[in-house]
Amino acid sequence: MIAKQGFNQLLADVLSIQPERDDLGLTLTDERIKEVVWSDSSFTDEEKKILRTSPEARIRLSIEHDKIRRKQLIRWHDAGVDQCLQWAADSNMDDLKYEGADFTLKIYPLNEKTTWAIIIQIKEKLLNASSLVKAVRLVDDGGFIWVSGKIDDYKEVTGYWKNGNETPLERMAKHKLSLEPI
């Protein structure tokens, strides 16, 4: 989405002013954060509590996620992954399939062109170059996130169009799309 809205914005505002609580006696080390972020490990219930109550711990977690994202982008670049889409779509089209070099984008209306499904199919080259992250998002150069999520067993990420001001085809005619690791 272009900007956080509603409940998400309220939650972001509250968490941004949350004070650090050192009276809980809980700690989460940088080493443990790195272990969880860089492997298939999970946080314990106690560690999740720390992340809910500590802005500082969330910042350190975010920094580690950013490191992975940057490293993944470098791997995509080194593997020659093409992560951009751009073309002028005909807004009269009913559905759309774009075969990119490393992923396929499918967009189609579910009812009266008010609800649209968006599917990203990940091709082998991109999947093989994505060893660090298993989630992606499709975002346009205007900042709108079209779809984001984990790559499923079918090598797909699916979602629904969430912009009532224009159709995906109208927006695509004005903006360049890019696939990013998250």
Across the chain, mean pLDDT equals: 78
**Cα 82 to Cα 86, 106, 107, 122, distances in angstroms:** 12, 17, 19, 12
**Cα 12 to Cα 19, 64, 68, 108, 176, distances in angstroms:** 14, 19, 23, 32, 28
pLDDT digits (tens, 9 = 90+) for 17-26: 776 666 566 6
Give the chain's domains with CATH numbers. Answer: 6-78 (no CATH), 84-181 (2.60.40)
Percent of the chain with pLDDT over 70: 79
Q: Summarize the confidence of residues 150-168 as an average pLDDT.
A: 87
pLDDT of residue 147: 92
Which range, 10-19, 40-49, 165-174, has the best average confidence (pLDDT)?
A: 40-49
pLDDT of residue 1: 39
Q: Summarize the confidence of residues 91-112 as an average pLDDT.
A: 74
pLDDT digits (tens, 9 = 90+) for 102-134: 888 888 887 766 788 899 998 888 888 877 678
**Could you tell me the pLDDT band of residue 167, with boundaries at 50, 70 and 90?**
confident
**Could you tell me the pLDDT band of residue 37, with boundaries at 50, 70 and 90?**
confident
181-172-165-13 Cα dihedral, nearest 10 degrees: 20
